[in-house]
């Protein structure tokens, strides 16, 4: 149902972003992959997406800390595929440390990648969506857009912030056929989660098993990690015409975490 549409997905070389790309391409969308990684692996993913969609799949290495590169990626997508219909703000990084020990450059990087890049993506993409009278803006927020955990001050601030941008933009584009929503996963098993285990072990003096059981899954009543496919399935639904009245929302996929 997405034939003829183009989706630009930041941070889609891995984890949740790659799952979004696969789900949208399976419905015929042209996709723009973005993010870092090994060139051969990125090219293999790009080629597989093109194969699956029967439409174009581009890779753009725009660094989400760089507004000029973000804008250039959106303009390139419009030029090379004919439109920018779906934008998914998904790139994100994490750093775990108490505020008094939190490196200032990590604060700046998390705010740039997890918060400001979403603003720059939306700003550049909305004129293209307005031209078509249709658009979908989806942002991967987090359970940490609703609640906090210690030692994640930058991440929690950025995730609360993207919900604010999303609500505001949803109001600004409400009569243009464009929706803007956040998806807020709980813990999803991806490299982002795996990579924070050593820091959490150090910050809290715990073993790997204790971090998984007592820190990560402690918050999640289902005691299961969310899967990347479950998150992508919700994004796909938000792209359907049936979802046109869902806008300005922050939808949880968190195994009951934020119900507590």
Question: Minimum CB separation from ligand NAD for residue 126, in Å?
Answer: 20
Which of 55, 187, 217, 236 forms a contact with ligand NAD (CB under 6 A)? Answer: 187
Residue 190 binds ligand NAD (CB under 6 A): yes
Counting residues that bind ligand NAD (by CB under 6 A) gives 30
Which of 48, 193, 197, 246 forms a contact with ligand NAD (CB under 6 A)? Answer: 193
SS3 37: coil
Which of 72, 192, 197, 201 forms a contact with ligand NAD (CB under 6 A)? Answer: 192
Question: Minimum CB separation from ligand NAD for residue 103, in Å?
Answer: 16
Q: Which of 78, 10, 22 is nearest to 50 (CA)?
A: 22
From the list 12-20, 48-56, 74-82, 130-138, the region that binds ligand NAD by CB under 6 A is 12-20
Q: What CA–CA distance (Å, rounded) separates 94 from 196?
A: 7
Distances in Å between the Cα of 223 and the Cα atoms of 70, 186, 191 are 37, 11, 19
Which of 127, 164, 191, 198 forms a contact with ligand NAD (CB under 6 A)? Answer: 191
Residues 88-117 that bind ligand NAD (CB under 6 A): 90-93, 113-114
Residue 13 binds ligand NAD (CB under 6 A): yes
Catalytic option among 20, 59, 155, 187: 155
Q: Is 155 a catalytic residue?
A: yes
Exposure letters 145-160 (e unless 16+ CB within 10 A, then b) = bbbeeebbbbbbbbbb
Residue 145 binds ligand NAD (CB under 6 A): no
Sign of CA dihedral 207, 213, 219, 225: positive
From the list 34-42, 97-105, 165-173, 243-251, the region that binds ligand NAD by CB under 6 A is 34-42
Which of 2, 6, 8, 14 forms a contact with ligand NAD (CB under 6 A)? Answer: 14
Query: Could you write out the DSSP letters of every residue in 5-17?
Result: -EEEETT-SSHHH
Strand ranges across the sheet with 57-60: 57-60, 30-34, 6-9, 86-89, 135-140, 178-185, 250-253
Question: Minimum CB separation from ligand NAD for residue 4, in Å?
Answer: 26
Residue 140 binds ligand NAD (CB under 6 A): yes
What are residue 88's DSSP bridge partners? 9, 138
Residue 142 binds ligand NAD (CB under 6 A): yes
Q: Which of 30, 238, 60, 257 is nearest to 135 (CA)?
A: 238
SS3 132: helix
Residues that bind ligand NAD (CB under 6 A): 10-17, 34-37, 63-65, 90-93, 113-114, 140, 142, 185, 187-188, 190-193
**Which residues are designated catalytic?**
155
């Amino acid at each position: 149902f997405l034939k003829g549409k183009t989706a630009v997905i930041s941070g889609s070389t891995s984890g949740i972003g790659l799952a979004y790309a696969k789900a949208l391409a399976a419905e015929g969308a042209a996709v723009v992959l973005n993010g870092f990684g090994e060139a051969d692996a990125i090219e293999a993913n790009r080629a597989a997406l093109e194969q699956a969609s029967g439409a174009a799949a581009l890779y753009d290495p725009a660094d989400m800390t760089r507004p000029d590169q973000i804008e250039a990626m959106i303009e390139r997508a419009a030029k090379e595929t004919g439109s920018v219909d779906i934008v998914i703000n998904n790139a994100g990084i994490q750093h775990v440390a108490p505020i008094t020990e939190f490196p200032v450059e990590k604060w700046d990087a998390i705010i740039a990648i997890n918060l400001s890049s979403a603003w720059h993506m939306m700003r550049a993409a909305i004129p293209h969506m307005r031209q078509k009278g249709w658009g979908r803006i989806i942002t991967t927020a987090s359970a940490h857009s609703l609640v906090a955990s210690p030692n994640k001050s930058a991440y929690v601030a950025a995730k609360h912030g993207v919900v604010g941008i999303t609500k505001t933009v949803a109001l600004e584009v409400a009569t243009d056929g464009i929706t803007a929503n956040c998806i807020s996963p709980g813990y999803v098993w991806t490299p982002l989660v795996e990579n924070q285990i050593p820091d959490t072990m150090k910050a809290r003096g715990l073993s790997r098993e204790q971090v998984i059981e007592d820190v990560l899954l402690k918050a999640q009543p289902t005691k299961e990690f969310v899967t990347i496919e479950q998150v992508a399935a919700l994004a796909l639904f938000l792209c359907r015409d049936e979802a046109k009245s869902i806008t300005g929302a922050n939808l949880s996929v968190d195994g009951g975490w934020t119900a507590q």
